[in-house]
Amino acid sequence: MVELSHDSRPIIGRGPPLTAYFLTLTAISVGLMMADQRYHQIDRIRESLSRVIYPVQRAVDFPFRATDWVTGSFADRSRLRQENLELTARLRLANLQLQRFAVLEEENRRLREMRANTAGIAEKVLVASILNVDLDPFRHRVLLDKGAADGVFKDQAVLDGEGIFGQVSKVNAATAEVILISDAEHAIPVQSNRSGIRTIAVGTGDQNKLSLPFVTVEADLQPGDLLLSTGMGGVFPPGYPVAQVSTVKRAGSMFALVEAKPTARLDQAREVLLVWFKAPVEAAPAATDAATATPTAPAGGQ
C-alpha cells in the first residue's frame, strides 16, 4: 500500500494553485499540437528536443547492435567459407546479368534522350541502418541513423535490396523517420509490369499486404504481376519493384478487390538505401508532387 510520506502537501500554503497551472499547461499543449499539425512552425523545437533524445535512442539500440557484432565476430570458419562460396556464385551470376543490363541501359538512355527526359536511375545512394527502437505498434515507422547532417531530406525515397521500402517522413539532425509503404497512411503510384495498368497501392497496416483500391473489374491484372513504381509525383524513382499482386477478386460491380505483397523485406531489413535521383523533367511543381504520391499521408502531403 502506498504510504504517507513526510512531504505530503500541507493543507495551508499549498504553493502555486494546481488548477491554474494545469490549465496553463493544457493551453500550451493544445497550442503546440495545433502549431505542429497545421502550421509546421515548431520543427525547431522538435529538432532541439531530438538532439537531447538522440543519445537515448542510441543507448536503446546499442545492446542489439552489440549482440549482432558479437555473434558476427565469433561465427565459425566453415560457415563463413560457405557464405563466401555462395556470395561468389551470386556475384558471378549478377555480373553476367549486368553485362546484358549495361547494353540495355545504354539503349534506354538513348531512347530517353530522344524524348528529352533523363529520368530514372538513382544518382546517389546512402546506406542507413535502422535503429532498434519501437516507435508505435500501430504505425509502420522506423528510425534511421542518418539525418539532416547527412543531407537526408523530407519525402526522400528509401529502398532496400528488393524494392521500394518507404519514404522519409521526418528529418532530425542525426536521425530520420521513415514511413513504410505498408503504413495505412501511405500510398504509392504503381504500374503493372505486364499490362502497363497504372494505379495506386495503399498500405493496409499489415506488413505483408498492400491494397489496390482503384482497380476496375475489367482491368488487366493477374496474381503474380509485378508492380513497379511509376515515378509519378517525383518522390520515388521510376521502375523499381514495389509489390507483387497476390489476389484479385472480381466480385463487386465497379472495383476489383486486389491485394499485393511488398517485394521489399519490410519486417526484416536492417539496412536500407536512401536515394537521390533526378526527377523526370515533366514532373511538375513540388506541391502537387507530394500530393500525388501520398494522397492521404501527412508525411508527403502537407
Partner 1 sequence: MRPMSMFARRLLYWLSMAAGLVLAIVPLPGWLDPVRPDLALLAMIYFVLTSPRIAGLGYAWLSGLFLDVLRGMVLGQHALGFLVVGYLTHKLQLRMRMFPIVQQAVIVMLLLGLYHFLMFWIDGLTGHGFTGWVRWLPVLSGALLWPLVVALGDSLTRRSN
Sign of the C-alpha dihedral computed for residues 287, 290, 294 and 296 taken in this order: negative
How is 187-218 classified by DSSP, letter by letter? EEEEEETTT--EEEEEE-S-TT-EEETT-BTT
Q: Which stretch binds partner 1 (CB under 8 A): 13-21, 90-98, 117-125, 150-158?
A: 13-21
69 binds partner 1 (CB under 8 A): no
Residue 25 binding partner 1, by CB under 8 A = yes
Give the residue, chosen from 76, 104, 110, 136, that forms a contact with partner 1 under the rule CB under 8 A: 136
Applying CB under 8 A, among 12, 59, 103, 104 the residue interacting with partner 1 is: 59
If one asks whether residue 15 binds partner 1 (CB under 8 A), the answer comes out as yes
Binds partner 1 (CB under 8 A): choice among 32, 121, 148, 257: 32
Q: How far is the CB of 276 from partner 1 (least distance, A)?
A: 23
Contact call for residue 132 and partner 1 (CB under 8 A):
yes
Task: Note whether 29 binds partner 1 by CB under 8 A.
Answer: yes
> Count of residues binding partner 1 (CB under 8 A)?
55
Query: Does 141 interact with partner 1 (rule: CB under 8 A)?
Result: yes
The reply to whether 53 sits near partner 1 by the rule CB under 8 A is yes
Alpha carbon distances (Å) from 113 to 12, 41, 109, 121, 123 = 83, 42, 6, 13, 17
Candidates 122, 125, 173, 184; binder of partner 1 (CB under 8 A) is 184
Whether the Cβ atoms of residue 168 and residue 132 lie closer than 8 Å to each other? no
Cβ atoms 199, 210 nearer than 8 A: no
Backbone angle region of 277, left / alpha / beta, with phi > 0 → left and psi within -120 to 50 → alpha: beta
Write the secondary structure of 134-182 as one string of H (helix), E (strand) and C (coil): CCCCCCCEEEECCCHHHCCCCCCEEEECCEEEEEEEEECCCCEEEEECC
DSSP H helical ranges for the chain:
18-34, 43-73, 77-114, 286-293, 298-301
Closest approach, Cβ 147 to partner 1, in A, equals: 13
Examine residue 5 and tell whether it contacts partner 1 (CB under 8 A).
yes
205 binds partner 1 (CB under 8 A): yes
Position among 177, 225, 259, 289 found at the interface with partner 1 (CB under 8 A): 177
Q: How far apart are CA 290 and CA 157, in angstroms?
A: 12
Residues near partner 1, by CB under 8 A:
1-9, 15, 18-19, 21-22, 25-26, 28-33, 35-37, 42, 45-46, 49-50, 52-53, 56-57, 59-60, 64, 132-139, 141, 143, 169-170, 177, 184-185, 205, 296, 298
